[in-house]
Amino acid sequence: MKYYLIGEMARLSYVSIPTLRYYDRINLLKPDYIDTDTGYRYYTYKEFLMLDTIHYLKSLGMSLEEIKEHFETRTIETSLNTYEKQLINIKSTVKNLRNIEKRLIHNIQNLRSSNKIREAKEPAIITFPDRYLASVNQIVFSDEEYEIIIRQLSHQLYDNHIVAMGNFVGIKAKGDIVKGEYGRTIKIGTLMQKRMSRYSTELLNGGEYAYIYHIGDYKRINESYQKLCLFISKNHYKINGDAIEEYIIDAIETKDILEYIAYIQIPIKQDKLN
């Protein structure tokens, strides 16, 4: 049987000598024998196989401690259980990565469209399909309160694997908007195109919405609401539900408040009295 010194073992296996020494020290992969006179470690093809197995199990996401335990107790049954467990973990990781990919694509689209959005300064009307809202129902008046609610909502969404969500939104009550009061937010949530299984979502009926993009500091968003409400009135519509304030660009993407973008949407219907 041919023996390989630790340097040869490291070179042929594409690992470092310190790594092999560490594996020896923790009793994960020991050499076939050690020369007591020289201290040289000698490996055989059997250790190559075990080292390949360590690399494979590490690629499955197993820790060195888990691999060591697996080596000590391995049978066909325990190997099957180990592989099935890791398959479940990998499927979950793949799902999360796909959701993260969708979220990144969504963010990139927001940023790429921001320049075009800045050109759309005037109110207009759009027709939306039915949408759904996952939200935390709590009245919010300040940025601090908003951030606390966002933490709660994010925790719920991530726990339910809804990382691939859209922009966060604030919901403002119809009664407040009609009275010209825009400072109170009654819900914080995120919009979705379909119901999420095992998660409570609220239907937002489709139909005509008047909208405007608010560009700049959110503290001046009242000005955009006033402009949009005047547009609704002049075009012989009336407010037909709660307003949606969708946050397209905020402090996550830029430190310049002049680059902030909020997408205000108010459901409307024809005012038959006009």
Which residue positions in the chain have pLDDT lower than 70?
136-137, 143-144, 146-147, 149-166, 196-200, 273-274
Give the DSSP per-residue string, the chain. ---EEHHHHHHHHT--HHHHHHHHHTTSS--SEE-TTT--EEE-HHHHHHHHHHHHHHHTT--HHHHHHHHHH--HHHHHHHHHHHHHHHHHHHHHHHHHHHHHHHHHHHHHHHHHHHH--S-EEEEE--EEEEEEEEEE-SHHHHHHHHHHHHHHHHHTT-TT---EEEEE-HHHHHTT--S-EEEEEEEESSPPTTS--EEE--EEEEEEEEES-GGGHHHHHHHHHHHHHHTTEEE-S-EEEEEEE-TTT-S-GGG-EEEEEEEEEE-TT-
Q: Output the CA–CA distances (angstroms, integers) from residue 269 to 125, 174, 199, 207, 233, in the order listed.
A: 11, 13, 31, 9, 11
Maximum C-alpha span of the chain: 104
Q: Output the CA–CA distances (angstroms, integers) from residue 249 to 67, 209, 214, in the order listed.
A: 45, 21, 10
> Can you tell me the distance from the alpha carbon of 39 to that of 83, in angstroms, rounded to the nearest whole number?
37
The confidence score (pLDDT) of residue 5 equals 93
Query: Is 1.10.1660.10 the CATH number for 4-74?
Result: yes
What are the extents of the domains in the chain? 4-74, 100-270
CB 34 within 8 A of CB 44: no
The confidence score (pLDDT) of residue 241 equals 95
Matching CATH number, 100-270, of 2.120.10.80, 3.30.70.660, 3.40.630.30, 3.20.80.10: 3.20.80.10
Give this prediction's pTM. Answer: 0.69
